[in-house]
């Protein structure tokens, strides 16, 4: 059996080696390392793929979120509602900009922000909602966009984990995750569904004015050379990373399909096993692009299962072991434990299995066999 890994970047690279190597060598030849033609070409190709008017590449997914918030002109004291169960980057940038993070609970089935909890958290100071499309599945954007319209709030989608997934609205229309709110961010961290070979990120929007503002912010607040109109940052996707992303973007749908196929096989083997809840996906399969395949283990057995997997040489991830409202940096007396029953349970129950584009049947049966063997003993 091939060695088990959480993410098999090498296996994926081998299949596109010639294309990637040629693209990278071309950049080296031109020496256009910053803002070279590869960056502009990638931007256009991603705009087309997502069907959004503007993609603004930047240095990473955390910057992308921060810049999106700066672009919207959010001011210290403005309240921004986001999920308690997400990677820290989401809340970190809210705090860095001296906005007030308002963490709310998530749904037990999708792990995504709970629209009812959003409604309860809205105050006159609320300015934005940041849904995170966690583990590759879009949040309930029908409900979230409706709440935002009603209360005149911005929606900033954190799409770091769900690039390529489709959201099917109740009215029958479909949009790509990241093309729904006023603005969205993504990460091209190597293990992401569309990952480069270093750090990278991007901001998406259909709003021409916002796109113009953001293009200046990523470049030191310059709209005209050496005229600094607003306080900006230096956040660029470099040409080498753009070359890698251009080589990989045409494969994104195939990559996501491979993840969905692996997920189907995991689910077929694990569904119905007592003590396991397999991932829930609403409607058609393309809504979930399985950045992670995350199951829930009942009866306090998660950590013992994790130890068993380690013994069997199976890597796993606990995303996330501590709710954000209990992280030292984000603790606040506003938060009451009773407001986070779902997150507090999820941190005890979730475990993510190896998930990538190169998983084969033998590996999947070994993993699922090891899990069922443990739970049935
Ligand atoms: C939900 C979420 N938001 C933001 C980020 C930040 O992305 P980056 O690591 O590129 O800064 C990540 C990356 O792990 C993420 O998972």
Residue 1 placed within a domain: no
In Å, how far are 4, 43, 82, 179, 195 from 204, measured between CA atoms? 35, 10, 19, 7, 17
Q: How far is the CA of 67 from the centre of ligand 1 (A)?
A: 14
Residues 155 and 108 in one domain: yes
Residue 205 covered by a domain: yes
CA of 226 relative to ligand 1 center, distance in Å: 31
Q: DSSP readout, 22-60? A: HHHHHHHHHT--BS-HHHHHHHHHHHHHHT-SEEEEES-
Last residue of one domain, picked from the residues 250, 277, 298: 250
Query: Which single residue is written with the structure tokens 């096993």?
Result: 273
Residue at 3 is within a domain: no
Pairing of strands 222-224, 174-176: unpaired
C-alpha to C-alpha distance for 68 and 66, rounded to whole angstroms: 5
Q: Is pLDDT of 74 > 90?
A: yes
Mean pLDDT for the stretch of residues 253-265: 97
Whole-angstrom distance, CA of residue 349 vs CA of residue 346: 5
* 198 in a structural domain: yes
pLDDT band at 284 (very low <50, low <70, confident <90, very high): low
The answer to whether residue 304 scores a pLDDT higher than 80 is yes
Which residue's CA is minimally distant from atom 10 of ligand 1? 61
Strand partners, 237: none
Report pLDDT for 289: 97
Number of C-alpha atoms within 13 angstroms, CB side, residue 290?
33
pLDDT at residue 283, rounded to an integer: 67
> Which domain CATH number covers 101?
3.40.640.10
* End-of-domain residue from the set 231, 250, 269: 250
Average pLDDT over residues 306-317: 98
Same-domain pairing of 105 and 20: yes
- Is residue 120 in some structural domain? yes
Give me the CATH number covering residue 305: 3.90.1150.10
Share of the chain above pLDDT 90, in %: 98
Give residue 322's region: left, alpha or beta (phi > 0; psi -120 to 50). beta
Supply the pLDDT for residue 281.
87
- Please check the confidence at residue 62 and state whether its pLDDT lies above 70: yes
**pLDDT tier at 376 (50, 70, 90 boundaries)?**
confident
CA–centroid distance, 292 to ligand 1, in Å, is 13
Does residue 136 sit in the same domain as residue 223? yes
Q: What is the mean pLDDT of residues 331-344?
A: 97
Task: Identify which of 357, 16, 339, 63 has the alpha carbon closest to the alpha carbon of residue 191.
Answer: 357
Same-domain check for residues 204 and 61? yes
Which ligand 1 atom sits nearest the alpha carbon of residue 89? 4
Q: Is the pLDDT of residue 82 over 90?
A: yes
Q: What is the overall mean pLDDT for the chain?
A: 97
pLDDT at 282: 75
Pocket test for ligand 1, best of 84, 86, 159, 187 (most atoms within 8 A of CB): 187
Is the full-model pTM beyond 0.85? yes
pLDDT for res 377: 79
Residue 263 shares a structural domain with residue 221: no
The Å distance, Cα 89 to ligand 1 centre, comes to 6
Helix (H) or strand (E) holding 350: strand 350-353
The answer on 325 and 188 residing in a single domain is no
């Amino acid at each position: 059996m091939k060695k088990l890994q959480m993410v098999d970047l090498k296996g994926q690279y081998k299949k596109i080696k010639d294309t990637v190597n040629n693209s990278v060598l071309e950049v080296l030849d031109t020496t256009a390392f910053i803002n070279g033609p590869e960056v502009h070409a990638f931007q256009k190709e991603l705009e087309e793929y997502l069907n959004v008017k503007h993609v603004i590449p930047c240095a990473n997914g955390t910057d992308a979120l921060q810049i999106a918030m700066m672009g919207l002109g959010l001011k210290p004291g403005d309240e921004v509602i986001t999920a308690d169960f997400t990677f820290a980057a989401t809340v970190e940038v809210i705090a860095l900009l001296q906005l007030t993070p308002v963490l709310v609970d998530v749904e037990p089935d999708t792990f995504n922000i709970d629209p009812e909890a959003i409604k309860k958290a809205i105050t006159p100071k609320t300015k934005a909602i940041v849904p995170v499309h966690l583990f590759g599945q879009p949040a309930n954007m029908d409900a979230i966009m409706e709440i935002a319209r009603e209360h005149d709030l911005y929606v900033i989608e954190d799409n770091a984990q769900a690039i390529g997934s489709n959201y099917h609205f109740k009215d029958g229309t479909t949009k790509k995750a990241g093309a729904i709110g006023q603005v969205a961010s993504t990460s091209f961290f190597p293990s992401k569904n569309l990952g480069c070979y270093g750090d990278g990120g991007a901001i998406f929007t259909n709003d021409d004015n916002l796109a113009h503002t953001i293009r200046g912010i990523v470049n030191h607040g310059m709209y005209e050379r050496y005229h600094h109109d607003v306080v900006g940052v230096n956040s660029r996707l470099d040409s080498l990373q753009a070359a890698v992303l251009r080589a990989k973007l045409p494969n994104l749908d195939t990559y996501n399909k491979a993840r969905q196929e692996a997920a189907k096989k995991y689910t077929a083997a694990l569904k119905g096993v007592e003590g396991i809840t397999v991932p829930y996906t609403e409607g058609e399969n393309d809504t979930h692009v399985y950045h992670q395949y995350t199951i829930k283990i009942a009866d306090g057995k998660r950590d013992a299962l994790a130890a068993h997997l380690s013994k069997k040489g199976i890597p796993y991830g606990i995303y996330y072991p501590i709710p954000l409202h209990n992280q030292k940096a984000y603790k606040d007396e506003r938060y009451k434990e009773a407001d986070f029953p779902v997150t507090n349970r999820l941190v005890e129950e979730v475990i993510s299995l190896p998930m990538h584009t190169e998983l084969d049947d033998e590996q999947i049966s070994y993993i699922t066999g090891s899990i069922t063997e443990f739970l049935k003993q």
